[in-house]
Structure formats: structure tokens, C-alpha cells
Amino acid sequence: MASSALKSPAPGTYRFIVRSVNEALSVLKSQLGPEARVLSVRPVRQGFLKRIFGGAKLEVIAELAAPESVREPLIAPPVPGVLSSTYAAGLAGGSRPVDLRTALKAAGFSEALLWRVEIERRWSISDEKPLGDALAEFVRELRQLVGAFPAVPLSRRVVFISSSQADKSLALGQWLTREVFQQGTKCRVCHVEFSRPNSCLELEVFCDAVGVGLTHYTPDLRVSDDGARVYWDVPCFGAAAGDETPQLADLLRQQAIETRVLVLNAAYEIESLRAGLKSGRSLGATHVVLTHLDETKDVGKLWEILLEGDMRPLFFSHDGNLLGPIGVEPLDFLVKKTLGKS
């Protein structure tokens, strides 16, 4: 069927020829709307000259189902964002069956995220499998997408950046605890202030307790790695930081701090997470850390942020305990949480 724009597209099957995944997502959204589902994605066979001069193309087959005249009420998962085994059991116990797409959207997964999995992984959401099996398969595809991002090793100089002092201090403290006590890594902390105070009293107490040296940065200070990994405690970015973000960017460049860990609070709404992600990427973030996973109910948004960030997560923090365990296999941790097993 032709892909001309329709104000109210009729139910049916549609075929699109596009040049990229991003173009496919844009076309589906603009021409068919959020209710469309991807049936298949495959490369278009072309002659050699067409491939050279025209570029690769994809054929996307999408379906727009007829709307139901009367919708029965759906059972929501017991915790938004987690399709737990009790939810699946409730459905199996006689409630109206819910297809996987509807269940995922009810759990906070956006239509754009579902399309991305279907298009990039060339995987179709099937109603033929039991809901629990289909969900597990979908989450495996998500993990493959995020796991494909390159793993960037930590350099000798590392900075944790965030719009929140509390979240940054929590993540830095938890990671230092792991570095010192579990990995046996020799670490030092360099505390930085610009024109505004950047309190470090709690950090000083913590460093003293775990045996990590702390120095205060001055422009004439020559910071040497000296066989240790140096962690930089810098001011936060964002509105509260005033005009200090350019100074922060200059410091990162001048001190050749290659590893830049963006700290985001998983309990925040997705737009706040996106704003933090945008700021972090402008500062050259190489890794991401999600804190307070115990407080988040919308797991779908976390997968979305990871995919939008194009960064491997360094670790996930479950709660606010500085000495508590952290998820150093974050994707496995998030898979379990999504499946209601954490």
C-alpha cells in the first residue's frame, strides 16, 4: 500500500521503503500513529550501482489494526514498570488476555521504544506465545541493544558529573567503596571548587574512613596520578551551577579527564532524565550510573534512557546506603527488575 500521508489512516497493512531506522520511526509515527505495529523489517535488494549511489534501504511492513468498539478494562501490573509473575498468573486465572504490546505500554514502555526493538533487532511482537515467555524474549532483545554499546574501560582520571550533589556524592562513595575494598584499587580524590562553594565535609569524612587521600584543587596544583586512580569531585552542572558549566568543561579538557560518569536518579521523571542526559553528553559523558532504583516504578523509561544515551552503564545503585552492594552487572540487574525478579 502506498505510504502517502493520511490524516486518518484506514486499518490495514502498509509498506514503507526507508533509508534508516530513525527514518522508519519517524514515518511510522507521522503517517500511522502510535497504534501501528511492525510486522517485518528486511533490507531491500539492490544492484551494485544503486547501493553505491543510493545507499542501503529497508522495507518496513506495518499494520494498523481496526479499533475495538468496546474495550474491556485491563488489569494493570501490581507495580507500574514491572510485569511480575503475579500479574501473569492473574491473567492466566481467567482475566481477559492482554497482548504483549498493550501490557508493555501499560508498564511504561513507549511506542517508539517498541518500534526500535522491532526494527533494529528485526523482531516481531507475537501474540501466539504466553505473555511471560513473550516478555522475557522482548527483554532479551532490549538487553542485546544496550549491550551492543562499546564497553569503555576506566582511565586513570575519572569524574562523576550530575545536576544533584546528593546523587553524585552517593554514586562516588559507593563506587569508591567497591574500588578500595573489593578491587584493591589505589585511589585518590581531588576536590574542585570554582566561584561557588562546593561542600566536601561529608566526602572528607568518608575518604578518611575508607583510607582514600583527598586534596583540594588549585589552578597551580600539578595533579599526578602517582600509581593511583584519581577521582575528581567537581561542582554540579545545571541551573543551580549558574555559569560554572563552561569552567567545568575547561577543567575536564585541561586535566585530560577521559572517563566522565554521568549520574542520574532513576526515580526522576523521564523528561528530567532526558535533560540530565543532554547536559551529560554535552560534557562528553562516557558512562552512566542510575541511582535509587528502589524508588522507581517505571522501568520502561530506564531502558529508554540507556538507549538514547548510547552509553554502557557503569553500575546501578539500589538504595542510598554508601556501603551497600551495587549492581556491577547493571543490565542483568535491570532485566531481573523488569521481569519482577529483583
Q: What is the pLDDT of residues 300-328, one digit of tens each?
A: 889 999 999 988 899 998 877 776 678 77
pLDDT band at 201 (very low <50, low <70, confident <90, very high): confident
pLDDT over threshold 50, residue 72: no
pLDDT at site 93:
42
pLDDT of residue 202: 84
Cβ atoms of 231 and 263 closer than 8 Å? no
> CB 97: neighbour CB atoms within 10 A?
11
How many angstroms separate the CA atoms of 181 and 322, rounded? Answer: 13
pLDDT above 90 as % of the chain: 33
Residue boundaries of the structural domains of the chain: 1-66, 78-148, 157-338
Q: For position 110, what pLDDT does the model report?
A: 85
Which has more confidence, 191 or 13?
191
pLDDT of res. 3? 43
pLDDT at 280: 94
Task: Give the range with max mean pLDDT: 18-22, 40-44, 55-59.
Answer: 18-22
b/e code 238-270 from CB counts within 10 Å (16+ = b):
eeebeebbebbeebbeebebbbbbbbbbbbbeb
**pLDDT-derived band of residue 92, with 50, 70 and 90 as boundaries?**
very low
Nearest to 294 by CA among 330, 320, 328: 320
User: Which cell numbers in the block locate residue 15?
Assistant: 509498506
What pLDDT shows up at residue 342? 54
Cell reading at 216? 583540594
Q: Which CATH number does the domain 157-338 belong to among 3.30.450.40, 3.40.50.300, 3.40.50.620, 3.40.50.720?
A: 3.40.50.300
Q: Which of 17-26, 62-71, 166-175: highest mean pLDDT?
A: 166-175
Q: Which of 54-63, 65-74, 141-150, 308-317 has the lowest mean pLDDT?
A: 65-74
Give backbone dihedrals phi and psi of 338, rounded to 5 degrees, phi first.
-65, -35
pLDDT band at residue 48 using 50, 70 and 90 as cut-offs:
low
